[in-house]
Structure 1
Amino acid sequence: MKLFENTKVAFKLKSDSELERAYFLFRLIQNQPMVRIGTAVTNFALKAHLPVEGLIRSTVFDHFCGGVTEEDCLPNIEKMYAKGHVHSVLDYSVEGKEEEASFDDAVEKIVKIIQFSEEKDSIPFAVFKPTGFGRFALYQKIGEGKELTNDEKVEWERVKARFHRVCKLAHDKDVPLLIDAEESWMQDAADDLAEELMETYNKEKAIVFNTLQMYRHDRMDYLKELYQRAYQKGYHIGMKVVRGAYMEKERARAQEMGYPSPICKDKFTTDQNYDEAVQYMMEHKNMAIFAGTHNEQSSYLLMDLAKQYSIEKDDKRMWFGQLYGMSDHISFNLAKEGYNVAKYVPFGPVRDVMPYLIRRAEENTSVEGQTSRELNLLKTEKERRKL
């Protein structure tokens, strides 16, 4: 049996009813028109303040999210760690806020998670989004090289101070910190800031991790250039490597505004790009990788490279990551083999986490084979249990 086909290990934490719910959800997600209708209805219901939160909570929310608060998530986190050796990354998945007070609240959230992580072996990383700490339009303006007003300059200093506060704390507590990537037209400013933070806090090892979305065809060149700069200045690179989550949006904007799309021309090229980044990072010293992937071939590749370069399975510079509620066949089987594995566990108020959940559903319908793979594995496990 191939490693990732062991459904007994993959779903051992799921009760029969949870298995049925997962099967039901992925069957729904497989149906594209259904996802579109469901998204529209859900958005309408939430805007109109209809009482649908209970229904969302008991179905899609509980499958893809750990809970409403950090404390809510703990039973699931401890169960995955105790019974499956799978770690968790608490991901506060509230998006699109614009007020200074929200940004300050988000910082306090991350501070709390870093302190949480220091105490709990089950939570080895903290994570945040750049737009959790500052306005999207501000990153965009800086990335486009436009002149900031005096107010905006002061605002940007506040954003930088938020980043430095959490990164310094992460460094002092020895808790690695992942900075997620977002849309390409705001990412340059976030990348420059992440690089400044790596230079400051990654002297001894990688504490600050930026994120590379490898469906962008320019990311491989960026990684190589970053490595040269880090090598010259003597700091470590931490990088979460993912395929990416904003493909439809990126293509639509490029077409609308008449510039070349930053996205690879097809899935095959994206896969090649992803694997090339993994290979490059494993070949070069002073790099730590968090491989966020639901792709079996990419996971096998990283395992092979670790063997090739004599990197121990539990070396803290190499992590595999998957989203909570997805690809359990990869997460739990890898963890059983002794690799470092972490699930991204989103949490937050149901209403505020909906944009994240909708993106997950849309992503699953657009990635060919992803949903049918989940369904086949769930079906196999259902049959195995019957026998």
Structure 2
Amino acid sequence: MLRVARTALPRARFSRTLGVRYVSSTSPRPTGRRIAFASGGAALGLATLLSSTMYADSATAVSLPATSKSNRADEGSRSSLGTLVRTYVVYTMCSIPALVDGAPWLLDTFTSIPGIRWITEAIVRITFFDQFVGGDSAVQSLPLLKSLRAENTGTLFAYSVEVDEAEAMAASASGSSQKSPHKAIIDEMVHCIDVAADFEDGLIAKQSGRRTWVAVKITALLPDASALIRLSSHILSTRPPTSPPQVAFPGNPTFSDLDVLYTPGAPKGNLSEADLAMLRELYADLEVICTRAQARGVRIIVDAEYSWYQPALDALTLALMRRFNALESRSGIHTQPLVYATFQAYLRRTHAHLVHALRDAQKHKYALGVKLVRGAYHTHETAAHPATASGKGKTLSISPDALPPVWVVKADTDANYDACAALLLDEVAADVAGPSGRPQSVGLLFGTHNWASCRKIMEGLAARGLATPTVEGKLRVAERVGERVTFGQLYGMCDDLTQYLANQTEAGAPMVIKYVPYGALSDVMPYLSRRAIENKSVLGGGAAQAERDRAGKLILQRLFG
């Protein structure tokens, strides 16, 4: 049942707040040589931190939920002194705006100089790589998965390698027997699913939920991602008009969006035969990935990307959800949705889009998997849209709307995120109130570093009777609710929030997961260097400085008690 989101959330007893006082610190003026080596090393870490689409929101400037002295002591004792020092150094560099802006160029430059490359890579590995990346491979990341699970935290695996389109297109055109780069990525994703499943299978059966999931970035799974832009443009030009009120760009997906791929005689617009073949192969590969995930019990989380890709990504994800999340093919209260779509709260459409998605899932009898994030590409979206609106300059934006697709003011994004979260919690409450044994019709992953949003969600769980405050100030989450609700943060960032959520909830499965990218250092650096500037908002609002100051305080506690 679809309900109207509440506008006010009563506070539970665990929501006492305390102010946060940050300790300022200064560092010596770096020499030119130090800047050179530090810059080369900083580039990968900045890019790693900034390359995810999950959690672009401020981690500071709000009151924090109270934590007990024992929880704060545990937080400091879990990390070695070396790890804390590394965190302090890494986030000190991340606090330098010029370094953030120059990260891709610096990384490209230093890794192209003979003799300097290996020094740069060595520095990167012991600092930023170890801070933000799980390992060189899925298997090598297993020790991290084990340590996270020991702290009641799950994992969202992300293979962070992208396709070199020139190389991929050349391999496809040559007809060589050598596997093209995008096919190698698909094979690795299937392998990643097996590693995740084997890890879960090896755990002692104390928990009801499987909390090792896999992220899928669709633009990395085909040799020419621009085919997705052309498909998006075609979808917008051929999609039947929706009933009022109109939903802002990128609109709502329909099941007919992919007719151009499979219906003989359907208008092709600007799509070439090569595009159509590539897109059919992409969907077939996505089915292979989801089929393996279904067989092994691993959730698939489809990442969101730029708005000019989104109509195509929405269409592909809808088709996957209708097939793999179908209610008649699932039974039992422990069966979560297999495929999760990402909803970006900074898009103007998102609340209306969520309402539509929930109704579509009810109508067509499939479970809706939702990863709710704020969004990571705000600067690019706002910069691209005016060029389209004025008709001047070259841009990738395909929005026909007068307004940009994203909220201009961050406060509007924050309000939209919280409203969407309330709507989704209402849906969980209705789902849990249904007959016992019925497959769940919604699964939620709240991807955020924002303490205020996390507090509101926890209060919302208690207010709706989905969780019960304990005398210790924690939340006891019912098993049927724990199967439906999860929080998530990036690995290497906001560990205090992650630990708070893990410590303050009692559930049959971890209520929080870490987004853990992995990949060989030489493979992930080109991808990360190109993505560094895209997501600067992750470090906005003083987030990097807050992480640095937190590490500094823990170092002082460790040294002086």
**TM-score category of the 2 structures, normalised to the smaller one:** over 0.9
* Equivalent in 53, 57, 70 of residue 138 of structure 2: 70
2:154 to 73, 84, 87: 87
Q: Is 1:108 aligned to 2:187, yes or no?
A: yes
Is residue 266 from structure 1 mapped to residue 433 from structure 2 by the alignment?
no
Question: Greater CA radius of gyration, 1 or 2?
Answer: 2
| Residue of structure 2 in register with 1:144 after alignment | 233
Deviates more, 1:200-209 or 1:2-11: 2-11
User: Partner residue of 1:31?
Assistant: 96
1:71 to 1:10, Cα distance in 2 relative to 1, 3 A: same
Report the counterpart of residue 164 of structure 2 in structure 1. 97
Query: Which amino acid letter does the alignment assign opposite residue 233 of structure 1?
Result: H
What is the CA–CA distance in structure 2 between the aligned matches of 1:361 and 1:79, rounded to whole Å? 31
Matched residue of 2:446: which SS?
strand
Q: Does 1:317 align with 2:317?
A: no
Whether the aligned pair in 1 keeps the contact of 2:100 and 2:536 (CA below 8 Å) is no
Give the match for residue 125 of structure 1.
213
- The within-5 A match list for 1:1-20 is 2-3=65-66, 6-20=71-85
Distance 1:46 1:190, change over 3 A: same
Secondary structure of the structure 2 residue equivalent to 1:238: strand
Deviations 1:122-153 (A, max 9, x none): 75211110112123211110110144222221
User: Would you say 1:170 and 2:237 are equivalent positions?
Assistant: no
Aligned length: 386
2:528 equivalent among 351, 356, 366: 356
Could you tell me how far apart the structure 2 residues matched to 1:262 and 1:302 are?
A: 26
Task: Name which of structure 1's ranges 104-113 and 41-50 shifts more when overlaid on structure 2.
Answer: 41-50
Q: Which amino acid aligns with 1:347?
A: Y
1:169-318 matches, cutoff 5 A: 169-203=292-326, 204=330, 205-258=336-389, 260-284=403-427, 285=431, 286-312=441-467, 313=477, 315-318=482-485
> Which residue of 25, 37, 40 corresponds with 2:105?
40
In the alignment, structure 1 residue 57 sits paired with structure 2 residue 125? yes
Aligned to 2:547: 374
3-state SS of paired residue (1:217): coil
Shift of 1:222: 1.4
- Equivalent position amino acid for 1:137 in 2: S
Q: Distance in 2 between matches of 1:35 and 1:143?
A: 31
Q: CA deviation at 1:15?
A: 0.7
Instruction: Check whether the contact 1:10–1:331 (CA below 8 A) recurs between aligned residues.
Output: no
Amino acid at match of 1:301: K
Change (3 A) 1:95 1:19: same
> Could you list the per-position Cα deviations for residues 70-100 of structure 1 after superposition, in whole angstroms to 9, with x for gaps in the alignment?
1221112211212x11111221011243326
Amino acid at match of 2:153: V
Q: What's the TM-score, normalizing by structure 1?
A: 0.93
Deviation at 1:368, TM superposition (A): 0.8
Q: Evaluate the alpha carbon distance shift between residue 353 and residue 12 of structure 1 in structure 2; reply closer, same or farther with a 3 A threshold.
A: farther
CA change 1:374–1:4 in 2 (3 A) is: farther
SS of structure 2 residue aligned to 1:368: helix
Asked if the contact 1:281/1:288 (under 8 Å) is kept, the reply is no
Distance 1:48-1:148 versus aligned 2 partners, 3 A rule: farther
Change (3 A) 1:246 1:58: same
State the one-letter code of the partner of 2:137: T
Shift of residue 352 of structure 1? 3.4
| 2:219 alignment partner AA | T
Query: In 1, Cα distance between the equivalents of 2:410 and 2:464?
Result: 28
Contact 2:376 2:535 in 1 (8 A): no
Residues 360 and 152 of structure 1, relative CA distance in 2, 3 Å threshold: closer
Distance 1:63 1:4 in 2: 25
Taking a change above 3 Å as real, the CA distance of residues 270 and 125 of structure 1, as seen in their structure-2 partners, is same
Distance 1:58 1:90 in 2: 21
The 3 A distance-change label for structure 1 pair 196 and 168 is same
More helix by share: 1
What residue number does 2:246 align with?
A: none
Percent of aligned positions that are identical:
25
Letter in 2 for 1:372: Q
8 Å Cα contact 2:377/2:534 also seen in 1: no
Question: Residues 40 and 379 of structure 1: is their aligned pair in 2 closer, same or farther, counting only changes over 3 Å?
Answer: same
In the alignment, residue 340 of structure 1 is paired with which amino acid?
Answer: M
Q: CA deviation at 1:4?
A: 5.7
Report which structure shows greater RCO (CA 8 Å, sep ≥6).
2
Aligned residues of 1:211 and 1:241 also touching (Cα < 8 A): yes
Structure 1 residues 97 and 317 mapped into 2: Cα distance closer, same or farther (>3 Å)? farther
The answer to whether the 8 A contact 2:104-2:533 is kept is no
Partner SS state of residue 231, structure 2: helix
Q: Give, in angstroms, the shift of residue 53 of structure 1.
A: 1.4
Q: What is the Cα-based RMSD across aligned positions, in Å?
A: 2.2
Q: Contact conserved, 1:7 with 1:380, CA < 8 A, in 2?
A: no
Once the two structures are TM-superposed, the CA of residue 343 in structure 1 deviates from its matched residue by 0.5
